[in-house]
Chains A and B, each alone.
Chain A
């Protein structure tokens, strides 16, 4: 069964264009806020990033190790590269485990409470991008 997103859902996903392995322009030209992004990243109800990733914060209990540790990600990747990996990692690797955080098309059997909505809004994506960009390697 394939659920096609309805028009309202599509309206909730910002248009973007991919250059190489990045989305260079901020979604909807929004400015990200790193402090808000840190809160989104830690939120165990919505984004739930820490179920799979560790961030450099020893006070966070029970962080997962399905994905790579996010320490230093702001040095490894540009903001544009981070943005694409959050929006829809299957554009880089069709077998990606990392969920698509700003996509509604082509998903199967989505719980009706979430149908037609991306996990994170364009603003939340930009906030998380801003936060991850601050996670630099120590030596810098």
Chain B
């Protein structure tokens, strides 16, 4: 018996609202105000890194302002068929174009660069390609999203569709989108990636977590990005 596959309720899910709509008024105002949002320290650090190195990111890409709109299109399928999120793309540039070793998922340097690049798409509508080679990844992500998992036997949508707006302990459940990531989370006392947040949700239902950067999470990230189509990029988000 395979429990919980194909939750019929998901098909009739109510509208998907941006994460900022679920924030407390205080956090929402703080997220909108760079002077009161510690996530912008990571943006500053990322912009400094952008200009550093030999060759620097800047020497190929020009001013980081040119990265506007990129985060709204990610994850994408690269020419070699791999699905890359922004972190994965930046790591590739490090290794292939800068000849450096990988910086490592969740390292401060990769988080800073990713946050700086993503911040250039703030307010722009999400629009990922899900046709062609991306279609199979989208389905993989959808299956993960809709399958009950863990000892507590819950699928993502049972919280993020069926119970959005309700309280889980002190949290108001949002629609579970990735548009605010990398995000500064007060609980983390720093900026973290979407994959780190996904690990927390899996831990919550006592499921086996995937590694940071795992292809399973990147496929899920594509599904979440597609769910968020048309909604604004919020990165760097501010979360409790």
**CB-nearest residue of chain B relative to A113?**
B206
B9 on the A face (CB < 8 A): yes
CB within 8 Å of A: which B143-198 residues = 147-154, 158-159, 162-163, 166-170, 173
Contact residue among B147, B158, B168, B209 (Cβ-Cβ distance under 8 Å from A108): B147
Known A-B contacts A2-B2, A65-B166; the reply to A109 vs B150 at CB < 8 A is yes
Cβ contact within 8 Å between B207 and A109: yes
| Docked-complex contact A97 and B169, CB < 8 angstroms | no
How far is A95 from B3 in the complex, measured between Cα atoms in Å? 9
- In the complex, the answer to whether B169 meets A64 with C-beta atoms within 8 Å is yes
- Tell whether, in the assembled complex, residue B167 and residue A90 are in contact, meaning their CB atoms are under 8 Å apart: no
Chain B residues engaging chain A, CB cutoff 8 angstroms: 1-4, 7-9, 147-154, 158-159, 162-163, 166-170, 173, 203, 206-209
Q: Which residue of A lies closest to B168 (CB)?
A: A64
Of all A-B residue pairs in the complex, the 8 with the closest CB atoms, nearest first, are A99-B152, A62-B170, A114-B151, A109-B149, A51-B169, A106-B3, A106-B1, A111-B206
Does A65 contact B3, Cβ atoms closer than 8 Å?
no
Given contacts A111-B151, A111-B206, contact A66 B167 (CB under 8 A): yes
A-B contact pairs, 24 of them (CB 8 A): A2-B2, A51-B168, A63-B169, A64-B168, A64-B169, A65-B166, A66-B173, A90-B3, A95-B7, A99-B154, A100-B153, A105-B1, A107-B3, A107-B148, A108-B2, A108-B148, A109-B208, A110-B206, A110-B207, A110-B208, A111-B203, A113-B206, A115-B151, A119-B152
Please report the C-alpha to C-alpha distance between residue A65 and residue B167 in the assembled complex, in whole angstroms: 5
Contact A106 B166 (CB under 8 A): no
A56 lies within 8 A of chain B by Cβ: no
**A2-B2, A94-B4, A97-B158 as given contacts; A110 in contact with B169, CB under 8 Å:** no
Residue interface bits A55-94, CB-to-B below 8 A is 1, else 0: 0000001111110000000000000000000000010001
A64-B167, A100-B153, A107-B148 are known; give 10 further A-B pairs, CB within 8 A.
A50-B169, A51-B169, A64-B168, A66-B159, A90-B4, A95-B4, A97-B154, A99-B153, A106-B2, A111-B150
Q: Which residues of B contact A107 (CB under 8 A)?
A: 3, 148-151, 153
Contact A108 B149 (CB under 8 A): yes
Residue in B153, B154, B158, B163 with the greatest tally of chain A CB atoms within 10 Å: B153
Chain A residues closer than 8 Å to B150, beta-carbon distance: 107-111
Closest residue of chain B to A88 (Cβ to Cβ) is: B153
Please, which residues of chain A bring their CB within 8 A of the CB of B8?
95
In the bound complex, residues from chain A placing their C-beta under 8 Å from that of B158 are 95, 97
Chain A residue at smallest Cβ distance from B150: A110
Are B167 and A108 in touch, CB under 8 angstroms? Answer: no
With a cutoff of 8 Å between Cβ atoms, the chain B residues found around residue A111 in the complex are: 150-151, 203, 206-209
Interfacial chain A residues near B151, Cβ < 8 Å: 99, 107, 110-111, 114-115, 117, 119
Residue A112 at the chain B interface, CB threshold 8 Å: yes
Query: CA–CA, A99 to B169, complex, Å?
Result: 16
Report how far A22 CA is from B220 CA in the complex, Å.
38
